[in-house]
Structure 1
Amino acid sequence: MKILIDNSNLYAGGGIQVATSFLYDLCSIENENQYHVVQSFNSGKQINKLDFDKRFKFYDLTSKNSSILKRRRFLKKIESKIEPNVIFTVFGPSYHKSKFPKVVGFALGQVLYPQSHYFKKISRLSKLKVKLTSYLKSYFFKKHSDVLIYESDDANKIYSNITKNKTVGYTVSNTVNSVFYNSNDWIEINLIKSKYDILYLTANYPHKNIDIVPKVIDKIIEIGKLDNFRFHLSVNKEEMNFDNKYDQYINYLGKVEIKQVPLLYKKMDMLFIPTLLETFSTTYLEAMVSEIPIVTSSMSFAKDVCGDAALYCEPLSAIDYATKISLLASDKELSNDFIEKGKVNLLRFGTSMDRTKKYLEILKKHANADD
């Protein structure tokens, strides 16, 4: 089977992690498939081509030809040349119609959750831009996808209703990155610990709701049950513009490399994730495998992933977050209960190799036959 893997539109975050993990998993699966991989500038930096055998051929986009029009032209030329049995756009949308079957990964929370508190936070102009962009992306998902792969049943159900089930859909859950199971690859990360350390691994996007952290700190201090605590945020101080008075309660980690993440979790007492808009977040699973409790926003996507293994809060309520954090910090038995529930919940998601094999099954099912 000749598979064209399209990573051309991946820029940052979880999408690149999934795509990179998928490629390395494919390396260890013995078969006669040919893999033609189109890499964005950023996704190309995540791999070492020397790790891959002769079944893999890479086509690298540069930062100069990363626009949608140039990507379309580049991809269509490659498709015509190699004539794949199937195309896999790991995360879409794809911006052109192909002559070959196209399987596309879906992760567009703005379309799935129009009632999200995120839309209440942003300006009218920003809301209009997001709505327009989401409408266009949804249009391309519908027009250029033969098959859609969702990361959660919640996403599958909602978008299948939107499309009136006109596009075949599968759920293939995200998983814990394999680095968590390979301790030889772990890299130490140095930080000053407090009595109670709270982690929020995130980028500074509006829907991540990271600007609520100072308000939560104020409320924790007001409640008075926790006097020696610190939030560890994977952003730079300069980009947040928080008042300097919060510096004693916040450690700005900056960008954290994936191989540093497992040992970072081991230094933490809790995961805090007040996000307002996701389709899936592996951060939840990372906390579960690292055996720390979770305090998160009460959103349907969070509940779909975490089940009863998290403590949920009103998404924009600093006092609710502070109360739940203080509760877990002062109640070891309750904290351990959520950790145990997390271990059980984690069993639903399998490994990255399980995910890769499911991807291959779907690709094989919808591929054109060899000539």
Structure 2
Amino acid sequence: MPNALNGIFRRRSSWDRTAADEIPSTQSVKLCYISRGYPHKNHAVLPRIGEALERLGHDVQFIVTLEHAEMARLPQEAHRWLINLGPLPLRSLPPVYEASYAAIFPSLLESFSVAPLEALHANGLLFASDRPFVRDVCEDNCIYFDPTSPSEAAATIASVLSDSGAELALRLKAREFSRSQFSARDRAQQYIDIIDSELNQPSLL
């Protein structure tokens, strides 16, 4: 059964904007990647995408949520591209998504991550790995790139940065898709229905 958004994403009154308010107000385009720093999450590609975008004339920074040790494992020269808010509680995530221009998800391997659904719901613009574990969930509602190719990722992002009409159309399409997704409550009810169905089967004894 697919994953689902936590209900807090639909309850603005429960959000904590403290972390979002800590994002520096600079001219750089902010792309957020909310994830732990596991190797398959591919954080090392972010500064390389930043460098490629700089060559294309775009100033970007990546908002990340890494523990201190995870941040320290990245090369020091990569830190100029990153704004690290540290690990965040769930109630802080929606405002961080909203405060960003877009979300980025360059992961190399997942069973299922709810982050793409969170990004589409809270932001509406997601650049993501062209991998089945994203396409199967998000279909054509985000912008795909090869997570092993910083130049391709940068070109993909730059094409949207340079086309406000395309950006708006993508956001509207993603928001419509997000509204059609079932909630965590819906998913729990489906599990209950499956259990009830099994319990009500005639006994084989």
CA distance in 1, matches of 2:121, 2:23: 21
Stretch of structure 1 that moved more, 299-308 or 339-348: 339-348
Note the C-alpha offset of 1:347: 3.7
Q: Is residue 2:161 matched to residue 1:332? A: no
Alignment of 1:1-371 (within 5 A): 172-188=1-17, 189=19, 190-195=22-27, 196-224=29-57, 226-227=58-59, 229-240=60-71, 241-367=73-199
The amino acid that maps onto 2:15 is W
Q: Which contiguous aligned blocks of 4+ residues in structure 1 show a shift greater than 6 angstroms?
A: none
1:11-34 alpha-carbon deviations (Å, 9 max, x no partner): xxxxxxxxxxxxxxxxxxxxxxxx
The amino acid that maps onto 2:35 is T
1:323-365 alpha-carbon deviations (Å, 9 max, x no partner): 1122222221111111112122224421111111101001112
Does structure 2 conserve the Cα–Cα contact (< 8 Å) formed by 1:194 and 1:230? no
- SS in structure 2 of the partner of residue 346 of structure 1: helix
- SS in structure 1 of the partner of residue 44 of structure 2: helix
- SS in structure 2 of the partner of residue 357 of structure 1: helix
Does structure 2 conserve the Cα–Cα contact (< 8 Å) formed by 1:308 and 1:341? no
Does structure 2 conserve the Cα–Cα contact (< 8 Å) formed by 1:269 and 1:292? no
1:123-181 alpha-carbon deviations (Å, 9 max, x no partner): xxxxxxxxxxxxxxxxxxxxxxxxxxxxxxxxxxxxxxxxxxxxxxxxx3211111111
The amino acid that maps onto 1:268 is S
- SS in structure 2 of the partner of residue 215 of structure 1: helix
TM-score using structure 2 length: 0.88
Does structure 2 conserve the Cα–Cα contact (< 8 Å) formed by 1:296 and 1:311? yes
CA distance in 2, matches of 1:289, 1:176: 9
The amino acid that maps onto 2:147 is P
C-alpha root-mean-square deviation of aligned residues, in Å? 1.8
CA distance in 2, matches of 1:217, 1:292: 21
CA distance in 1, matches of 2:112, 2:173: 19
- SS in structure 1 of the partner of residue 144 of structure 2: strand
Q: Is there any run of 5+ residues in structure 2 with no aligned partner, and where? A: none
CA distance in 1, matches of 2:98, 2:25: 11
CA distance in 2, matches of 1:203, 1:268: 18
Note the C-alpha offset of 1:279: 2.6
Note the C-alpha offset of 1:237: 4.9
Does structure 2 conserve the Cα–Cα contact (< 8 Å) formed by 1:268 and 1:292? no
The amino acid that maps onto 1:205 is Y
CA distance in 1, matches of 2:176, 2:140: 10
Note the C-alpha offset of 1:368: 7.2
Q: Is there any run of 5+ residues in structure 1 with no aligned partner, and where? A: 1-171
Note the C-alpha offset of 1:209: 1.3
Larger radius of gyration: 1
CA distance in 1, matches of 2:70, 2:4: 30
Does structure 2 conserve the Cα–Cα contact (< 8 Å) formed by 1:207 and 1:275? yes
Does structure 2 conserve the Cα–Cα contact (< 8 Å) formed by 1:307 and 1:345? no
1:65-123 alpha-carbon deviations (Å, 9 max, x no partner): xxxxxxxxxxxxxxxxxxxxxxxxxxxxxxxxxxxxxxxxxxxxxxxxxxxxxxxxxxx
The amino acid that maps onto 1:239 is E
- SS in structure 1 of the partner of residue 50 of structure 2: helix
Shift of the 183–347 alpha-carbon distance from structure 1 to 2, 3 Å rule, reads closer
CA distance in 1, matches of 2:77, 2:106: 22
- SS in structure 2 of the partner of residue 210 of structure 1: coil
Does structure 1 conserve the Cα–Cα contact (< 8 Å) formed by 2:40 and 2:109? yes
